[in-house]
Structure 1
Amino acid sequence: MADPSVLNPHPPEFDQFLQASVGADQNGYAVTVLSTLARLGLDPWRETAELVTLGRDAAPARLGALLARFRDVPALASDHGKVARDLSQLLPEDRASGAPQRAASTVVDGRPGTSGAIWAVIAIMFVLFQMFIVGGSGSGE
């Protein structure tokens, strides 16, 4: 069976955090953490990875600072600290397996673990295609 990370290179450990609501915007629509970070011009997965590496103690402060900059959700103006503390509890933490830390380092490094294999397969397919084209264009004798 194919590795699911090929189609979705983002760590699934971040999904619960990124899909959590930060509140309702001025039109009454729920705004997620993912949407908030993207609207701030940040890469949501990279920022989440950095929050994970900061740990449970420092992550709420960093997230609170980000939420304080976000003006699309009126309720955040007075409550961004509490929302940040609540949301930071959704960050993955599994010290035993280290999976969130590995996922975070993959996102921060910008290199998914399977990208080398994908590029190798693409290169092989390209070489085979070239051999087929060049080999098939003989003089016909």
Structure 2
Amino acid sequence: MTVLPDYALGRARYTAFLFTVVGTERSDAENRGEDITVLTALARIGIDPWQEAARLALLPRLEAAKSLASTFVNLPDTRWTLGDAAGTAYRIIDTLPPLSRHGPAPRASRIFLNWRFWVAAGLALALLALIYLGGRT
């Protein structure tokens, strides 16, 4: 079974951030006062939530919070002042995963996690053993 990219484990690290409640819709809105999460907010204004979470995680915390606050101010069916949005954004940004000092694993080092590599290595070792043992008889 193939895992769709949207459900891949690499995106799981943004779960706490994306599912944090940021506010409530106005009572006269379509969903009548439902809670709005970061995921909902980003999706409503047409931004891919996981890509935005990854982008914000790479920014300095202050800059990421300012960017997120401007997103909240532009949400339809909500009432945000810039000050309220900024306070909420500063709180929520702390749920993003910390930056890795080393970044993602280089492609060359990830090859060792691939099962095909280990099958090929095992076959090569078996062939070498056969050659070595075959020459001794």
Q: Which runs of 4+ in 1 moved over 6 A?
A: none
Give me the CA root mean square deviation: 2.7
Shift of residue 24 of structure 1?
A: 0.7
Letter in 1 for 2:18: L
Counterparts of residues 17-32 of structure 1 (less than 5 Å): 17-26=17-26, 27-32=32-37
Shift of 1:72: 2.1
**Deviation at residue 55 of structure 1 after TM alignment:** 2.8
Residue pair 1:56, 1:88 contacting (<8 A) in 2 also: yes
Query: When the two structures are superposed, what TM-score results if normalisation uses the length of structure 2?
Result: 0.61
Query: 1:1-28 CA distances to partner (integer Å, 9 max, x unpaired)?
Result: x8xx925225111000000011110122
Structure 2 partner of 1:106 = none
Show the counterpart of 1:14: 14
- The Cα offsets for residues 70-110 of structure 1, whole Å up to 9 and x where unpaired, read as 13222x235111111111111111536x5xx54xxxxxxxx
The runs of 5 or more residues in structure 2 that have no matched partner are: 27-31, 105-109, 115-137
Aligned equivalent of 1:77: 81
SS in 2 for 1:22: strand
SS at match of 1:15: helix
Q: 1: CA distance between counterparts of 2:88 and 2:11?
A: 23
Structural mapping, 1:47-58, within 5 Å: 47-58=52-63
Q: Which has the higher Rg, Structure 1 or Structure 2?
A: 2
Check 1:52–1:94 CA distance in 2 against 1; reply closer, same or farther (3 A cut).
Answer: closer
Instruction: Verify the 8 A CA contact 1:71 1:77 in the aligned structure 2.
Output: no
Counterpart-to-counterpart distance in 2, 1:29 and 1:47: 23
Instruction: Give the residue type in structure 2 aligned to 1:59.
Output: A
TM-score using structure 1 length: 0.60
The percentage of aligned residue pairs carrying the same residue is 30
Q: Distance in 1 between matches of 2:74 and 2:99?
A: 30
Structure 1: tracts of 5 or more residues without a match: 103-112, 118-141
Q: Is the 8 A contact 2:25 2:34 kept in 1?
A: yes
Question: RCO higher in 1 or 2 (8 Å CA, sep ≥ 6)?
Answer: 1
Q: Provide the secondary structure at the position in 2 that maps to 1:6.
A: coil
Equivalent position SS for 2:22: strand
Find out whether 1:46 has 2:61 as its counterpart.
Answer: no
